[in-house]
Amino acid sequence: MKKNLLFFALLFFSLQFSFAQKSASTIKQEASEAFENGEYELTVTRVNQLSSVFKQVLPQYLAYRIKALGAIVSGNPYDSYQRLETTRSFISSFLKKFAGKDDPNYNSILEIRDVFDTYPKTETSFIATKKAKEQEAINKKNLELKAAEIKRKKELRDLVIRDSMAVIYAANARIKYSSDSIQAVKQAEIDRVKRQNSAIQAEKGRKAQEIVDKKNARIHNFRYNTFSNLGVIIGDVAKYGILFEHGGGNNFLGYHIALRTSAVAKQDILSGKVVKHRTEFDVGPNIKLSNYLYLNLGAGYGYYNYPNRNDYSSQPPSMEMQTYLVTSGGLMIRLGRLINLSSGVSFMDIDKGFYKPEIVAGLTFNLKSK
């Protein structure tokens, strides 16, 4: 019984697979024939059917779809903004997928991409350009109708003149015709100026929208993209240092690295001229609180030197070193696309006792923003 069920199951799946292969072969043939016959809408439909059934479609048929859409759009570029965006998406996907694979259709797809780059890139500019062209077509049609009407009137007047043979009437008709011709020329010039002004306004709208889009893109990059910055950090005691920070974007956590030193000469320490000095290195997370505010927490290593004197020895004092645990905390504020400010505190041996912290401050400059 189980063997019979297994046999029928295998037979069923074999038939299903055979049917799918046959159907796919038919769709491919129909897509190729439709493209060769210039039936571009049918070509797009058949390739879409292939894409819905198979994850991988041969580049030949993907190129058919792009070329068909390119031909459809070139016939009426301002019919559908959605079709423009869909075709751009297909072009981008094809160029990325088959870059460097010597596909015979690659260069022709590049040419189609260059043509689509001349079309409006935002829906606002698309609508403005479409309206301008529709108005231009209406003006052109009205001008043709007026010219046809003038021609009709002229033919009618000529017929009257030929039939009546009246000199006075003929003279008056010519005068009237001249007046209409002058009026038509004036009206044509007025229409030409209107079309020119309409085109200028459309171009102004497009440029204004481009400026807004660029400004919004810069604001988005500053607020939401990752960053890396490098700058200086100073403290009450360790006055010289460098600070590196990385974070932002969609990441909640980044990191920072800080190195500070007092840069004191050995002789000044031995002579007692300088008492407070230290060198510290700490590293830790950079926590995103908002698009402009970040919390830096760190831990690391620090040390300071001190003279070891023996009043009962004739030897000069020796230099000794004391190490300790460094912990730090502070805030970093992003002031703009270039400059950031940091401030916080640094603790010595916080695991042994709470001592007065050292106040630190930093100024960093953004290196990059992805």
CATH code of the domain covering residue 64 = 1.25.40
pLDDT in tens, 305-336: 888 776 676 677 778 888 989 999 999 999 87
Helices (H) and strands (E) in the chain — how many of each? 8, 8
Domain termination residue (choose one: 173, 203, 223): 223
CB 303 within 8 A of CB 279: yes
| Phi then psi dihedrals of residue 239, to 5 deg | -90, -10
Report the pLDDT averaged over residues 190-209: 89
Claim to verify: residue 114 and residue 202 sit in the same structural domain: no
- Give the number of domains in the chain: 3
Three-class SS of residue 307? Answer: strand
Say which residues have a Cβ less than 8 Å from residue 122's Cβ, sequence separation at least 6.
209, 210, 213
Q: pLDDT digits over 140-178, tens only?
A: 988 898 888 889 988 888 886 787 677 667 667 777 777
One domain for residues 242 and 363: yes
Residue 196 to residue 147: CA distance in whole angstroms: 20
Q: At what angle do helices 123-164 and 81-97 cross, to 10 degrees?
A: 130
Owning domain of residue 95: 2-119
Q: How far is CA 141 from the centre of its chain?
A: 40
Note whether 50 and 114 are same-domain residues.
Answer: yes
Q: Would the pTM count as exceeding 0.85?
A: no
Contact 231, 339 (CB under 8 A): no
Element (H, E) at 334: strand 318-334
Question: 160, 194, 223 — which closes off a domain?
Answer: 223
Residue ending a domain, choose from 223, 240, 263: 223
Q: Looking at residues 264-278, what average pLDDT do you find?
A: 81
356 and 296 assigned to the same domain: yes
Distance separating alpha carbons of residues 125 and 128, to the nearest angstrom:
5
